[in-house]
Chains A and B, each alone.
Chain A
Amino acid sequence: MKSVIPREVETLWTLFTAPVVWAVHFLVCYVGFAVYCAKALSLHLSFDAVRIGLGVFTLLALAMIVLSAYLAWRQWGYGTGDPPHDAPTRQDRKHFQGFATLLLSGLSFIAVLYMAIPMIFIAECQR
């Protein structure tokens, strides 16, 4: 049976997945509200519609980060070995990268949450 979860790939790129999701989320939220506020008169969208739309996007971003964390956890060997993983072996390199990715995913998760908090309270566009 083919797994839905991606095969384990050995590349540095997976390390950046979560921070990239965080950066994209950050930009989409800022730019989204800015564009909305600049064009609110010609767009037939309420402020709350934008808020909910970006809320859904936030959930998507969080899901991406959780997936990235899960893959990192797998790469780390599900926590079977303890850090620091500093032996010059292939296995340790893999585990080290998995652990680092897991920590970065945690950081990005919290960052996306913090970014979302102001979106709950922001009240309207300033003109």
Chain B
Amino acid sequence: MRVVQFVVVLWLVATFTFALIRIIPGDPIDILLPTQKSNLQAKAKVKEVKEDLGLDKSIFTQYVNYLGDVVTGDLGKDYGSGRPVTDILKKALPVSLQLMLYAQILALAIAIPLGVFTAYRAGTRADRALNATAFGFLAMPNFVLGLLLSFIIGAELKWLPSVGYTPGWLDPIFDSSRTGNFGDHIQSMILPSLTLAVGQIAVYMRLLRSDMIATLQENFITMARSKGLSDRRILWRHALRPSSITLLTVAGLNVGTLIGGAVVVEVIFNMGGMGKAIVIELNEKQYVALQSLILVMAALFVLVNFLVDVLYAIVDPRIRHARAAH
């Protein structure tokens, strides 16, 4: 059932990106191959593009062929450099995936204890101070923060690399020709992940705080207190899980924001991720490659939210049993 939903969403995204390149005014050939029209080599290229995109066939045939290509994993190529999109992805996707994963983990690792603490101490000076600080960071654009971190901690203090990327554990899985160095990888990822994470912290913290405050009014919390359990146990074992459904939902949806943020962060820290790849293809007006990259990001977004759906059932047994009953 959920798999059907997943496929339908991806189909819609694919259709949308297909339509996009056909809607852009002008001949796709002129756009994709702007400078080389005269010589023989270029003629061959024009022919290749025409055949690849099926431009001489009906729009319907083009569409069916395109969907067939996507399903079989043929995502087209950059007609300027001649690189297939799958090659670009092999290198760029693990960079972005790791960046977003670390940023998400970092944001949650900071926001969850803060959310729990501010809910526990709601209305106190500590609560207000932490909220104000978190919102201060929320207001700071991530390119400003990224440049600051890169300049101060990287270039000036030299505690961490100011720019650049070292492959980690995921890169060799995508591209066997790459080797990772975990220590260097983590060092190269700290500042970019932090830059990307900071904006999320305030959002996650506030969400958890308000749900947690509501949970702490529940009868089962009074019951847990009447059992003589410690506050720590009540907060972490009793209150956190029932308060985390909204957080989980938003963390999933927020992958969209993270994708956007990753583009900026990858450019600032000069990391060869999806963001960087998208910027390159956009500059070169390589719309075929671009649409495939966007399709992959969209698939990623849908996939993450699909996983969030699975997580609901793990967090709340009532959801699990209700689903099993259907």
B is a partner of A: no
Binding site for A on B (CB under 8 A): none
Binding site for B on A (CB under 8 A): none
